[in-house]
Chain A
Amino acid sequence: MKAAVIVLPGSNCDMDAYHVLKDLLQLETELLWHRETDLSKFDLIVVPGGFAYGDYLRAGAIARFAPAVQALPDYIEAKRGFVLGICNGFQVLTEAGLLPGALARNIDRKFICKSVTLRIENADSPFTHLFKPGETLELPIAHAEGRYFDTPAQLEKLEKNKQIFLTYAEENPNGSVNNIAGIMNESKTVFGLMPHPERNSETLLGSGAGLKFFQSLVYSLEAVHG
C-alpha cells in the first residue's frame, strides 16, 4: 500500500500530511512532484493545503493545470485508489471539476484560523467509517476562500446521494451553503474538506480526532488489499 502527497508550487501543508501518513500511520508515503503524471502505483493521493500558485486569481484556479492534477481524472475513472483534498487541495479538486461546487471568499472576507466544531453527516464512506453518524469533533480551519457554493439543483443532488460527509456544527465560519465543510464524489473515492484533520491528529495538538479520517482510509485500503 502506498500513498502520495502531491507537492504543488506553493503547497505548504504537504509535510504535515506526510507526517501523519508516514510517521503516525507508518504508511509508505511519497512526496509527488507536481510534474509527475504516473499515479498508478499509489493507492491514496493527497492534494494538500497551502497556496498553490499563490492562489492567484482564485484558489486552485491555476493549480488545476499542474500535470499531476491533470492526471487525476484517469486515476479516478479507473478507480485505482482514493483522492483526498484538504483545504487548498479541496479547492483544487473543485476547480478541476473532480468534486462539484466552488469555494468562494469567506463571507466576512478575511482569512480565518481557528478551531471549529464539525459534524459527521455520513459515516458510511471509506473516509469516515470509523466515526459514528452525527458525531461531532473539533478541527482547525485556516482559509480565506472556504465558502462552499453550488446551484440549488446540484445541492439537492449532493443531499440525495449523501455526498456531504462533514458540516459545521455550531457556527458556520465562512458562509458555506448548508454548512457544508466536506463532500465526496458519487462513487465515494474522492473526498474534499476545508478543515485540516492533519492538524489535529495528535493529542499534543488537540483531541487527536483528525487521525480517524486517515485511519478510515487506511483500513478501507487494507480491506481491499487484504
Chain B
Amino acid sequence: MAKLAVAAQHGFSDREYEAICQALGREPNELELGLFSLNWSEHCSYKSSKRFLRRLPTVGKRVLQGPGENAGVLELENGWCVAFKVESHNHPSAVEPFNGAATGVGGIVRDILSMGARPVALLDSLRFGELSDGKSRRLFEGVVSGIAHYGNCLGVPTVGGEVYFEDTYSDNCLVNAMCVGLLKKHELKKAIALGLGNKLILAGASTGRDGIHGATFASEDLLGDSEEKRPNVQVGDPFVGKLLIEATLEAAKLPELIGLQDLGAGGLSTAPPEMAARGDVGLAIDVTKVPLRATSMSPYEIMLSESQERMVLCIKAGSEQKFIDIYRKWGLEAAVIGAVIPECVYRIQQGKKIVAEIPIPILVGGSPEPELDTRQPRYLGSISQKRVTLAKTFDLRERLLSLLRSPNIGSRRWIYQQYDHSVQTNTVINPGEGDAAMLRVKGGKFALAVTMDGNARHVYLDPYEGSKRAVCEAVHNLVAVGAEPIGITDNLNWANPTDPEVYWTFEQAIAGMSAAASALGIPFVSGNVSLYNQSEARKIYPTPVVGMVGYLKDLDKRVPMGFQKPGDLVYVVGKLDGNFGGSEFLKVFYNFVGGELEPIDLNFEKRLIEAMLSLADQKLLRSTHDVSDGGLLVAIAEMTLPKGLGAELRLQLLTEEKLFGEWPSRFVVSVSPKDKNKIESLLGNAGISFESIGPVERTTLNVNGAAISLAELKTAYESALTRFL
C-alpha cells in the first residue's frame, strides 16, 4: 500500500524506512512510525551533528555531569553545583514569535528542573533581520514580550543575553534561551528509569493536541508553503510552569524518586524511552491513563502531543500516592501512566491492548547517521580577498556616534527593561552594568557570572576563527567581571546540513570552538543543535552561540564595567594592533562584509586571561570592559555611561582601524593611580602589552582633542533600538 507514502509523510527516506523494517522484523504501524519519526528526527537524535559534537572537549575537574543529560552540571564549592543549558526555539518563534519564544523559555527551564536544580537565571540570544523591515520588527517585539511573559511570571530573572540584526535572519529568526540552576550535589537527578515494577508518573499540565510533530517541524527547512504542515501553535502557561517548578522540587526531595525528565520536543514519544535507554530497561505505558485536555484523542495524538508544562518521574512502586499528593497540593495533575518492564522495549498500550512496541535500542540512538559531504564554500575564497577603500579623513565624533546608534551596538535597555532581572534578589551585576551578569548565592561568599556570545558575521567570514572568537568573547565577558570561566553550553544554529558547504562550516566551527575551549581548559557540558534554518531565499549565517558560566570565589572582588572615579587611569590591555575584518564599522559605513579575520593566538589569550584574573583577584581593577563589537572606542564610550564619567584620552595612533577594528584579546581597564606601578609590572612580567591612554574625567569623552559630551553619547547609545520601535 501507500506504506512508503505514509513513511515519507513522517519524513523518512526509503533507506531509513528499510532500516526500521529490518530492525523490527516487520513493517511498523502508523503510531510506531510516529514514534520513530520523532526519536529519529534531527532535533532529538542529533544524527547529522553527533559525529562532530564528539570532538568537543567535555572533561574537567568540576564536571559532575557532561553532555548527554538534560543539562550539564559543574561543582562549585561546599557541595554547591550549577546546572545550565541552552535551547533553541527558532522555527516556532518564526511562526508565532510570542508563543514560540515563551514556550522556548518554558522548555529550557524544565531541562534545568530535570537535574533537580532550582532555576536561578535566564539568558537569551536572539537574531533577527534588520529593524528597518517591518516583519523583523514584529518578530523582535513578539519574541521579547514572549520571553518576558514567561520568565517574569516564573520568577526566574532574565539577566543577560545578546541580539544581532542582520539580513541573513530575516526569514529565520533565532531564539536561543539559556537557563542556569543551582543545586546541592546530593540533589542531582538524572533522566533515568530503573527497577522492575517501578512506576512512571506523568505530572503537570494535561495533554492536548498541541504541537503534534513539533520536533519534525524543527528538522525541516522553513518553507513559505508549510502553513498546512505546521503543528498547532504551542501555547505556554507560565503559571502552571511556576507551579511545576515548586511541586517538582518538592517531589525531588522524596527518596523514592529514581529519575526525572521533562517532556520537551516529542512529548511522550521521546522522553520515556530516553529514560529507559539510560537505565537499560523497558517501559510500558497506557495511554488511557494520561490526563487529557481534549476529548477523544487517539493514541497517536496522545503520544505525539507536545503539550507544555509536563514532567515524567520514575518512582519506586508503592510511593505513587506521595507524589500525586504533592502535585495535587500545587493544583496540578499527576497520574501513574506506566511501569518498568523486563523486556527492553517501549510498549504502548490502550488499556490491555498493545498498540505499539519498539525495542528501545532501535528507537533511541538507532537512527542511521546520514552520509553527508563537506566542501569548502566558494564564497570564502573571494570574501577574504575583498577590500574596502577607506576615506582619507574621518570625523571621530561622527563615526563614534553613528556606531553607537547601530542596533548591533547600542543600548539593549529596551529589551532588558521588559525582563524582570532582579527577582530572587541575587543579581549583583545587572544588565548594562557589566560584560556578564552576576548572581550571588545566598549563604555563600561566592558568585556566578553568566554570559552568551556569538558574532556570526565573524563565523561567516571564517568559520574556524570566528567560532574560536565566540568562545573567547564569552571568556572575556566573564573575566571582565572578575570570574573564572568554568563551563560552556553551546547552541549551533545552522542552515541545511545536506548542503556540503553548510556542513563544512559546521565542522570547522566545531573545530574552532574545540581548539579555543581546549586551550583555555573549559569543558562543554551541554548544548543544542538547530539545523535547517533556511528558506528558499536565504540561509542564515552559521551561528554558534556560546553560553558560559564563571565562578568568582569572593563576590566582593567583582569588577563593574563603568568608570568609577575621576583621576583613575585608563589602559588598553592585550593585543594592541590588528585588523578590521568583519567589523560593524565596515558594515555601517561601507556596507561591507568581508576582509580577513584576525586569528587568535590562544597561548597569548591564556596568558592574558590569567593576568586579568590575577589583577581582579588583587582588587587592582576599578572597572573592566572587553573590546568587541564596535571596537576600542565603542568599548570606552560604554564605560562612560553607567556612572556618567568621561575620560581625557590620548592614543598613540589614531587610525580608524585602531579605533573601530574588532580584533580580540583586548580589554580596557581603569585603575587607581596608586596602583599604577603594580599593574604595569604585573602585566610586564606576564608579557602582556598595554597602552596607558589617560585619566577618567568628569564631564566629557575627549580623544586626542575631539570632545564628545556624555549626554550626546548617551542619547546616541540609547536610541539604537528605540528609534525603530
Contacts and interface: CB of A to CB of B under 8 A. Distances in A.
Direct A–B touching, Cβ under 8 Å: yes
A114 B411 CA distance: 14
Interface stretch (A53-61, A93-101, A217-225): A53-61
A205 B425 contact: yes
Contacts of A140: 422
Given A142-B423, A196-B422, A113 B243 contact: no
B162 interface: no
B675 to A, nearest CB: 24
Given A12-B242, A51-B152, A51-B153, A19 B422 contact: no
Contacts of A144: 152
Interface string A9-20: 110110110010
A121 interface: no
Interface of A: 9-10, 12-13, 15-16, 19, 23, 49-51, 53-56, 110-114, 140, 142, 144, 196, 198-199, 201-202, 204-205
Contacts of B155: 12-13, 50-51
Contacts of A51: 152-153, 155, 238-239, 242
Given A54-B153, A204-B428, A205-B428, A12 B239 contact: no
Given A12-B242, A54-B237, A111-B420, A199 B331 contact: no
Given A16-B423, A19-B442, A54-B237, A9 B418 contact: no
A53 B330 CA distance: 11
Contact of A113 (B237, B240, B422, B425): B422
Nearest to B148: A111
Interface string B216-241: 00000000000000000000011110
A22 to B, nearest CB: 11
B565 interface: no
B424 A9 contact: no
13 contacts: A9-B242, A10-B153, A12-B154, A12-B155, A13-B155, A16-B423, A16-B425, A54-B237, A54-B238, A110-B148, A114-B417, A144-B152, A202-B425
Given A19-B442, A51-B152, A199 B421 contact: no
Contact of B243 (A9, A19, A198): A9
Nearest to B153: A51
A93 B152 CA distance: 21
Given A142-B152, A142-B422, 11 more contacts: A9-B242, A9-B330, A12-B155, A12-B242, A13-B155, A19-B425, A51-B242, A111-B419, A113-B152, A140-B422, A205-B422
A111 B422 CA distance: 13
Contact of A55 (B153, B154, B420, B440): B153
B145 interface: yes
A55 B428 CA distance: 28
A16 B155 CA distance: 11
Contacts of B417: 110, 112-114
B325 to A, nearest CB: 14
A106 B130 CA distance: 28
B406 to A, nearest CB: 23
What 7 pairs across the A-B complex have the smallest Cβ distances?
Answer: A12-B155, A54-B239, A51-B153, A142-B420, A16-B425, A140-B422, A113-B420
Contacts of A113: 152, 416-422
A198 B425 contact: yes
Contacts of A50: 155
A201 B422 CA distance: 12
A120 B52 CA distance: 61
Given A54-B238, A111-B152, A204-B440, A12 B145 contact: no
A88 B155 CA distance: 12
Contacts of B145: 110-111
A204 B154 CA distance: 24
Interface in B238-254: 238-240, 242-243
A201 B330 CA distance: 30
B424 to A, nearest CB: 7
A199 B155 CA distance: 13
With most chain A CB atoms within 10 A of its CB, the pick from B240, B330, B425 is B425
Contacts of B425: 16, 19, 198-199, 201-202, 205
A110 B152 contact: no
A106 to B, nearest CB: 11
Contacts of A142: 152, 420, 422-423
A137 to B, nearest CB: 16
A13 B423 CA distance: 7
A16 B422 CA distance: 10
A55 B155 CA distance: 13
A9 B239 contact: yes
Nearest to A198: B425
B626 to A, nearest CB: 24
